[in-house]
Amino acid sequence: MKQELKQTKFGKYGGQFVPEVLMPAIEELTEQYEKYKDDPVFNKELDYYLRDFAGRPSPLYFAKHLSREYGVRIYLKREDLIHGGAHKLNNTLGQALLTRYMGKKRIIAETGAGQHGTACAMAGAAFGIKTEVYMGARDTVRQRMNVYRMELMGAKVIPVKSGSQTLKDAINEAMRDWAANVETTHYMIGSVVGPHPYPMMVRDFQSVIGKEVRTQIMEKEGRFPDSIVACTGGGSNAMGIFYPFIEDDVDLFAVEAGGSGMKVTDKEALHSATLCTGEEGILHGMHTKVLQNKYGQILESSSIAAGLDYAGVGPELAYLADIGRIKPRNSMDSEALDAFHDLCRLEGIIPALESSHALAYVKKAASSGELGDIVVINISGRGDKDLETVMGMKK
Amino acid sequence: MKIADKFNELKKKKEGALIAYICAGDPTPEATKEYVTALVRGGADIIELGLPFSDPTADGPTIQVGIERALNGGMTPDIYFRIVGSLKVHIPLVVMTYYNLIFKRGLEKFVKDCVASGISGIIVPDLAAEESGELAGFCKQYDVDLIFLVAPTTTESRMKRILAEGTGFIYLVARMGVTGVRKDVAASTRELVERVKTKTPKAVGFGISNGKQASEIIRTGADGVIVGSAFVDIIASGRDVPGRLEALARELKDGIQSANK
C-alpha cells in the first residue's frame, strides 16, 4: 500500500495534469524531493525547526470529560498547540527548507481563510525567504486579521480580484505566477492536493503527526487505538495522522463537511463532502474525486469551516476510500458547532471548526460501536480564528 | 477541413497561418456564430474555439473572464457541439478545453462528437504528454489531431516525446506564463522555434495582439500565429464586436503576409 515516489499515482488517482510550462518545475521538484527526503542533514535540520520553532511533539491528551460524555476513551492529538495554532506549519517548514535546498529565492502560496498563508509567512520568515501569498480579494476583507498577521511576519499578500475573488481564483493566480517564475520560485501548496509530487510530499511532511501518535498511544494505553478520526477538506491533517497507521489494524475515519445538507444544484453544493458524494474528475493537476455537475463543471462547495470548503480532495484519500482502507463520513455545520461547544465547555479547549467536524462524528457514532473503545481525534487547529463565526451563529 | 491540408495550402502560397481563438458562448451561444464568421472574413485560417470550463488555470485573466461570461450565458458541451455543427465555415476548427470536461463526457464520445460536428483538432492545456495516452489513442482511431504545447522551459527529453505525439500543429508558448496580451514579443521566440525540430507546423501563441508582432513571429520561422486574448478583449468591450474582430483579424493576416516566407 505504501507508494514509491517514482510512481505518480495512487491506483488510478493522482498524476500530473498541469500546463506544459509547469512540467519542468514539477519534474525538478520531484527530483529534488526524492533527493532530500531521506537525507540525514535535511531531516536533522527539519527536526530542529519542528521541535524548537514549531513546538513539536504536540501532546496526545486524554479527554476525560469528553470520554465520559461520548462513551468512548478519547485522546486528542493537540495540533492546535503547534506554533500558529494548526498543523499547517509542519508542511510549510518542510517545503520552505526544501526551497532553500533547491536554491530558490522566493515562495508563493495561495490561501483561502489565511491559515496556510500564515504558516507560509512563518516558515518564510524562519528561513529568510521572500514570501508572497495570493488571496481572493473577498477573503482579504473577511479575514483581515490573518492578512495583518502575514504582513507582520514580512509576507506580501496579493489580493486577487478576478472571478469569485476567493480561494479558487487565488490558486489560479498562484499557478500563473509560478508558470512565469518557475526558475526562481517555489509554489507552496498547503494540502495533499495538486499534481504529483505534492500529495505525497505534503503527506510525508504531515506524517510527523501520526508518527508521534504511534509512540504516545503505546505509552498511554500499551496498544494502538481502535480508530482515528480526522476532518477532511483537501486532507492534509487526515493523511498526516492516518499514513503511519495505514498498515495497522486501526480504522481510519475521514470526516468531511456536510455543510447545511447533502443537496446539490447545477452550480453549487451545500456541502464539501467530496469523498462521500464526489465523482471522478480532474482538478488542480490531479485525478481525484470532485464535486461537479453532469458536464464536469466544478461546483461551488460550502461549509462553515473555511478549511474544509473545497470541491476536490487529495488523490490518495480518494484511492484509500475506493479500496475501503479509510471510511469517509460527514458532519453537518450544526453538528460541528454543537461539538465545538462540547469541547470548549468540557475540556477547556477551543477547537477549530474544521476539527469540530471530527469531534461531531465521534459524538454521533460512538454509541454504535463503529469506533471501538479507544479513539484518537486529530484536533488539527485551534478555534480562536472562528470565534466571530461562532458568535454570528448564536445570534 | 484537416489542419494538415490547410497548412499545405498555405505553404504553396508561402504564407503563414492565422489561428484565432475565441471562447464559444461568450457572451451568448448565438453571438459565437456571428463572431466566427467575422474572424473568417478577416482572414483567419484556423479557428480555435474554447469550450468553457469553470476552473481555467492555464488561461490568463482576459480569457478567464470570457469563459465566465460564456458559462453565465449558458454554454454547455452539448450546446457547444450543436453550435459548432451548425457553423458554415470551410476552414479547420479546433476545440480548446480542459481535461475534466473531456473525461466527464467520456474520451471516446468526446472525440466522436468532435468528428460529427466537424472539429479536426483538440488542444487540452492541462493535459501533459505524460497523461495523454488514452485520449491520443482515440484521436488516432478517429483521425482527429491532438495538439500539444511546448514552452521555453520544456526539456529536451520531454520535447522529443511531445514532438512524437503531437499532430496537426505544435503550439509554441512564446513567453513564460499563461495567455494574455503582452507589450512586446519575446526574443526567446526565435530560440524556441529553432529548438522545435519537426516537420509538423509550428504555431506561436501567448501575447500576440497586433500585425507587427504577428509579422515578427512569422519571421522567426514559425508557420503560424495564434491570437486569443486580443480578440476576447474586443468581445469584452461589447462595442461593434464583429466589425472589430474582422478588422483585427485582417491586420494580423496582413502582418503575416508581409513577412512572406
Give me the pLDDT at residue A5, please: 47
* A·B CB contacts under 8 A: 115
**Is residue A317 predicted with pLDDT exceeding 90?**
yes
Question: What does the pLDDT read at residue B146?
Answer: 98
Q: What is the mean pLDDT of residues A170-199?
A: 91
pLDDT reported for residue B57: 86
pLDDT at A7: 79
At position A93, the amino acid (one-letter code) is L
**In this complex, do B68 and A17 lie within 8 Å of one another by their Cβ atoms?**
no
Which 3 state secondary structure label does DSSP give A97?
Answer: helix
Q: CB-CB: which of B55, B65, B177 is closest to A21? A: B177
Selected residue of A171, A175, A282, A294 to mutate for chain B interface (largest B Cβ count, 10 A): A282
Give the closest-approach CA distance of A13 to chain B in angstroms. 12
Res A176: pLDDT: 82
Q: What is the per-residue pLDDT for A171?
A: 85
| Mean residue pLDDT across chain A | 94
Active-site option among A110, A132, A316, A354: A110
**What is the rounded end-to-end Cα distance, in angstroms, of chain B?**
23
| pLDDT tens digits, one per residue of B216-251 | 999 999 999 999 999 999 999 999 999 999 999 999
Per DSSP, the residues of chain B read --HHHHHHHHHHTT-PEEEEEEETTSS-HHHHHHHHHHHHHHT-SEEEEE---S--TTS-HHHHHHHHHHHHTT--HHHHHHHHHH----S-EEEE--HHHHHHH-HHHHHHHHHHHTEEEEE-TT--GGG-HHHHHHHHHHT-EEE-EE-TT--HHHHHHHHHH--S-EEEE-SSSSS---SS--THHHHHHHH---SS-EEEESS--SHHHHHHHHHTT-SEEEE-HHHHHHHHH-SSHHHHHHHHHHHHHHHHHHT--
Q: Is the Cβ pair B126, A290 closer than 8 Å? A: no
Q: Which of A58, A327, A380, A385 is catalytic?
A: A380
Residue B188: pLDDT over 80: no
Statement: residue A184 has pLDDT above 80: yes
Answer yes or no: is pLDDT of A2 > 50.
no
Q: Which of B22, B29, B34, B21 is nearest to B73 (CA)?
A: B29
pLDDT tens-digit readout, B121-166? 999 999 999 899 999 999 999 999 999 999 988 999 999 999 999 9
pLDDT for A18-37, tens place per residue?
Answer: 999 889 889 999 999 999 99
Chain A CB within 8 Å of residue B98 CB: yes
Evaluate if residue B176 carries a pLDDT over 60: no
When pLDDT is cut at 50, 70 and 90, the band that residue A1 belongs to is very low
Q: pLDDT tens digits, residue range B27-58?
A: 999 999 999 999 999 999 999 999 999 999 88
Give B166's contacts in chain A (Cβ within 8 Å): none
Which residue of A lies nearest to B125 if distances are taken between CA atoms? A19
- Choose, from B59, B113, B216, B233, the residue flagged as catalytic: B59
Is the CB of A284 less than 8 angstroms away from the CB of B57? yes
Question: Which chain A residues in 322-361 lie under 8 Å from chain B, judged by CB atoms?
Answer: none
pLDDT, tens digit (0-9, with 9 covering 90-100), for A285-299: 999 999 999 999 999
One-letter amino acid at B136 equals A
Identify whether A272 is a catalytic site residue. Answer: no
Judge: A168–B105 Cβ closer than 8 Å, yes or no: no
pLDDT at A169: 81
CB contact under 8 A, B128 and A23: yes
All residues of chain A having their beta carbon less than 8 Å from the beta carbon of residue B176 are 21, 179-182
- Please indicate whether, in this complex, the C-beta atoms of B149 and A171 are within 8 angstroms of each other: no
Does residue A155 or residue A179 have the better pLDDT? A155
Q: Summarize the confidence of residues A129-149 as an average pLDDT.
A: 93
Per-residue model confidence (pLDDT) at position A165: 82
How close B52 comes to chain A (CA, Å)?
9
A176 touches chain B (CB under 8 A): yes
Task: Look up the pTM and report it.
Answer: 0.95
DSSP H stretches of helix in A197-263: 198-206, 208-221, 236-242
Contact B177 A180 (CB under 8 A): yes
Least confident of A18-22, A62-66, A131-135: A18-22
Determine the residue among A134, A167, A176 to mutate to test chain B binding: the one whose Cβ has the most chain B Cβ atoms within 10 Å.
A176
**Is residue B59 flagged as an active site residue?**
yes
- B186: pLDDT strictly greater than 70: no
CA distance A313 to chain B (A): 15
Number of H helices, E strands in chain A: 16, 14
Higher local confidence (pLDDT), A180 or A123: A123
- The A residues from 261 to 280 touching B (CB cutoff 8 Å) are 280
Which chain B residues are within 8 Å of A158, Cβ to Cβ?
Answer: none
